[in-house]
Amino acid sequence: MCGIFGIYNNTRAAELATLGLFAEQHRGQESCGMAVNDGITIKLRKKMGLVKEVFRPEKLIDLQGDIAIGHVRYPTRGGASEYNAQPHLVETLSGPSYALTSNGDLVNYAEAREVLESKGVYFASTNDGELLLKYIVYEVEKRGTSIPEAICRMMKYVKGAFSSVLATKEEMFIFRDPYGFRPLTYGELENGSIVVASESCALDILFPRWQKEVLPAEIITVSRNGITTMKNDPMEYRSTANDRHCIFEHIYFSRPDSYIFDENVYLIRQRIGCLLAEDDDVKADLVIPVPDSSNFMAMGYAKKRGLHFELGLIRNHYVGRTFIKPEQTIRDETVYQKFNPLPNFFQGKSIILVDDSIVRGTTIRKIIKMIRNAGAGEIHLRIGSPPVKYSCYYGIDTPTSEELIANSKEIDEIRSYINADSLKYLSMEQLKRAVSKPEDYCYACFNGDYPVR
Ligand code: SF4
């Protein structure tokens, strides 16, 4: 998962991009980067680390210009290295001329890279974003096509998830894959600057005059003359009749204050909680979320059943998201750094614990142990998604299928492994009832029905 941001025609481009990237820090914490155009050249800064570390005010002095595109990354394809950090740049004879950032993974990366390499295209990283950029630049520089036309050609051939922004010295191009896997929103600020971000929460802080979602397969050109959009028919580029937005954006990834895929994330989470409470009559004193992504689910659950909602676990916000840490050893240690139970809170209480999903099962097992050690009586775990059984190939770092606990264990075996008194998952049918247009979503990590392979 990654977050992207772009801003066009603003003398404070790097400063505002820093704010936008900071608002999207939850989407990736391994590295971040920014490319800024001053009309003569495109300057690049990308480093391992958080936005507030990499883009300290004194560093922004070197990033003057009025077009900026940026990225926060957690690694999916390619390791955690500065080479794989984004944006990627392509220099032509006249200097660095193209920069691109993207969110998503490509399913035919290896094949597409081989084709480009056979034509003499050089790759500096193993990151999907570089492939998108090199494909487009090859079409423009070698075949003489326009950039929007090159993006169309790329969309015909390159398969997978990409919500992207490309900057040249004069223009900015915003485009999204034909399935619309990852969110992408753009808008206009009061002074006429055009902004784009993975999530609406990153635009809200700049008080845009308007904002709307980029459509699947749409290509938006932003130039000194304004905005022109190419609304491609996604059916020309994909094999499914409907969009395939990632349902996990609503369950876990996106911030609850974002509006994505034409829905309020927090409302979907509340609805999931209500649906989880349907036909659930387990007795308990309290409903407790595993913070933060499950907060609204637990609220919805408690409200539906008329039970008390309490924040019994406190999360240390200065530790990264457990799921996002790429190595198992780091992931295990951070569980204890990340959560702590309230003192003298759980003693003798029977609780309903709500979490958004179970991936490997190791994190929730430790959380349950922690709550039991704090004196809880019964712990009934409720999960706001169906069992995760399959890996994601569209930009989420789920482990291999073999590592997913629900791939090899039945629900009661999972309950026993994590040591919960009872365990209930949201059903697929309930999950589909939580969104307005269920036919427009990808559920492949639950049912193995991959829209594109
Ligand atoms: S496989 Fe799962 S995580 Fe990946 S895009 Fe589909 S719903 Fe999202």
For β-strands 351-355 and 286-289, DSSP reports them as: parallel
- Atom number of ligand 1 nearest to Cα 181: 5
For residue 68 and ligand 1, the question of a CB distance below 6 A is answered with: no
**Are residues 184 and 176 in contact, defined by beta-carbon separation less than 8 angstroms?**
yes
pLDDT of residue 65: 97
For residue 441 and ligand 1, the question of a CB distance below 6 A is answered with: no
Q: Bridge partners of 10?
A: none
Q: Note the pTM of the prediction, 2 decimals.
A: 0.95
Whether residue 203 has pLDDT greater than 90:
yes
Residues across the chain: 453
Average pLDDT in the chain: 94
Q: What is the DSSP letter of 88?
A: E
CA of residue 60 to ligand 1 center, whole Å: 36
- Is residue 291 packed enough to be buried (19+ CB in 10 Å), middle (13-18) or exposed (0-12)? middle
For residue 162 and ligand 1, the question of a CB distance below 6 A is answered with: no
- Atom number of ligand 1 nearest to Cα 246: 8
For residue 248 and ligand 1, the question of a CB distance below 6 A is answered with: yes
The domain defined by 269-429 folds into: Rossmann fold (3.40.50)
| Residue 222 in tokens | 């932003």
pLDDT in tens, 71-100: 999 876 667 778 889 999 998 876 669 999
CA of residue 248 to ligand 1 center, whole Å: 6
CA of residue 76 to ligand 1 center, whole Å: 13
Whether residue 405 has pLDDT greater than 70:
yes
d(CA 82, CA 339): 30
Whether residue 329 has pLDDT greater than 60:
no
Whether residue 319 has pLDDT greater than 90:
no
Tell me the percentage of the chain whose pLDDT exceeds 70. 95
Most confident of 173-177, 329-333, 336-340: 173-177
Closest Cα to atom 4 of ligand 1 = 392
d(CA 347, CA 296): 24
For residues 409-423, give the mean pLDDT: 98
pLDDT in tens, 6-35: 999 999 999 999 999 999 999 999 999 999
For residues 311-335, give the mean pLDDT: 68
Cβ count near 432 (within 10 Å): 15
Q: What is the DSSP letter of 93?
A: T
* Confidence band for 323, pLDDT divided at 50, 70 and 90: very low
Whether residue 428 has pLDDT greater than 90:
yes
Active site residue 2: yes
For residue 246 and ligand 1, the question of a CB distance below 6 A is answered with: yes
Angle ∠(178,250,420) on CA atoms, nearest 5: 135
pLDDT of residue 408: 96
For residues 282-297, give the mean pLDDT: 97
Phi, psi of 314 (to 5 degrees): -110, 135
Q: Which of 2, 152, 201, 392 is catalytic?
A: 2
pLDDT of residue 99: 97
Instruction: Spell out the domain ranges in the chain.
Output: 2-238, 269-429
Residue of 442, 449, 452, 453 with the most ligand 1 atoms within 8 Å of its CB, for mutation: 442
pLDDT of residue 327: 58
H-only helix segments in 265-376: 265-277, 295-305, 328-338, 362-373
Phi, psi of 255 (to 5 degrees): -70, 145
Collapsing DSSP states into helix, strand and coil, what is residue 442? strand
CA of residue 163 to ligand 1 center, whole Å: 15
The domain defined by 2-238 folds into: Glutamine Phosphoribosylpyrophosphate, subunit 1, domain 1 (3.60.20)
Tokens 């800024």 belong to residue? 36
- Position with higher pLDDT, 81 vs 333: 81
Whether residue 322 has pLDDT greater than 50:
no
| Residue 324 in tokens | 């996002």
**DSSP secondary structure letters along 135-204:** HHHHHHHHH---HHHHHHHHHHH--B--EEEEE-SS-EEEEE-TT--S--EEEE-TTS-EEEESSHHHHH
Angle ∠(132,245,164) on CA atoms, nearest 5: 25
pLDDT in tens, 50-70: 999 999 999 999 999 999 999
d(CA 337, CA 38): 43
| Residue 253 in tokens | 């990834």
Residue of 106, 251, 396, 443 with the most ligand 1 atoms within 8 Å of its CB, for mutation: 396
Radius of gyration, CA atoms only, the chain: 22
**DSSP secondary structure letters along 313-325:** EEE-TTSPPGGG-
- Atom number of ligand 1 nearest to Cα 161: 5
